[in-house]
Amino acid sequence: MTGPALLVLEDGRIFRGEEFGAAGQALGEAVFTTGMTGYQETLTDPSYHAQIVVQTAPQIGNTGWNDEDDESTRIQVAGYVVRDPSRSPSNWRATSSLPEQLRGQGIVGVAGIDTRALVRHLRERGAMRSGVFSGDALGPDDDLVQRVLASPPMEGADLYGAVTTREPYVVPAVGERRHRVAALDVGIKANTPRMLAARGVEVHVLPADTPFAAVEELRPDGFFLSNGPGDPATADAPVALTRQVLERGIPLFGICFGNQILGRALGLGTYKLRYGHRGINIPVVEHATGRVAITSQNHGFAVAGEAGERFDTPFGTGEITHTCPNDGCVEGLRLVSNGSARAFSVQYHPEAAAGPHDAADLFDRFVELMEDR
């Protein structure tokens, strides 16, 4: 028998359910994701650090938890909200259940609430500060709202330093090594180095505070900017490093937070979306070809710009190459110098382990960029 649990939003809206996972208090930004699969990858994605994730799919946990699909070394979300947790998970790869992992890693969750009403509220009002409370953390409603209001907002949040690797490490190429890439970890997912390694790329994963001299020592054929959490306006050090990389002409590829870092390095601004893009069925248009890819996304901030916009930078001509047809949000950038591409990035996740895989060829484009250098 589980006890009561509450999800409290900063605007005073309260949803009442029951404990799911650990009991206690969790504070973070309430966001929703529309993926019907891949909850293990979602929970372990560093980009969700400091967020309370709401699953729009009603039943979660059917396939349990396995030892292969984690995108990092631990669950990253601050809290978890579901409608109907699976009572009896079943999958041949499962080694434990979702509730066992949540309890074991101290993740406070709530189940049994009307997630449809919650998601409609967040769509209308926007992602906002929130808290999940259960057990000894419960108290009067007004007190819980005040605790939420006392928590920091996502705008201005400097979070990538909390999820970066503390020491460099190497993911070896599969088969013969064709290239060496320096990957800046501002929240990298485990499948990204695997996707590069499968293409013969040796990946040196570096802490977020790595100086350019350390990058140069590796003599990399390319530089990669990873996904990550928080407000890109706080990422001054990665932006400065990216500008040094561009000055030296090292081929560059960025994903998600990396797209925002490249955008800032090229002189563009960033802004916070109302409720963000989080799910695995989000369309993106590539303007040069008209091709539409169905993509996995997880971001609450975006680069400011318009479809097809071209602009001058100290490194060459910048171009906005991809947008989302749902809302016009910038989904990709490119830097061209002397008629040749030098850097590109996308706001979505071509490495998405849970799918879709429409954009996996972007890793091949990065390899081609390094070969054409």
The residues annotated with a catalytic role in the active site are: 256, 349, 351
CA distance 200 to 177: 5
Query: Which two tokens mark 211?
Result: 């100086």
| Torsion (CA) 140, 142, 146, 149 in degrees, nearest 10 | 120
User: Which positions ≥6 away from 96 have C-beta within 8 Å?
Assistant: 64, 65
Length of the chain counted residue by residue: 373
Residues in CB range of 131: below 8 A, 6 or more apart: 7, 8, 25, 26, 27, 28, 52, 79, 144, 147, 148, 151
Give residues with Cβ within 8 angstroms of 341, minimum separation 6.
Answer: 334, 335, 369
φ, ψ dihedrals at 363, nearest 5°: -65, -35
Alpha-carbon span 31 to 297, nearest angstrom: 13
Can you read off the two tokens belonging to residue 177? 């090594």
Residue 353 identity (one-letter amino acid): A
Strand runs (DSSP E) across 265-325, as ranges?
270-286, 292-303, 310-313, 316-323
What is the rounded radius of gyration, in angstroms, for the C-alpha atoms of the chain? 21
Q: Which has the closest alpha carbon to 275: 120, 140, 171, 159?
A: 120
Cβ atoms of 191 and 357 within 8 Å: the answer is no
DSSP-based three-state secondary structure for 72 = coil
Residue 270: CB partners within 8 Å, gap ≥ 6?
A: 231, 232, 233, 260, 263, 264, 301, 302, 303, 304
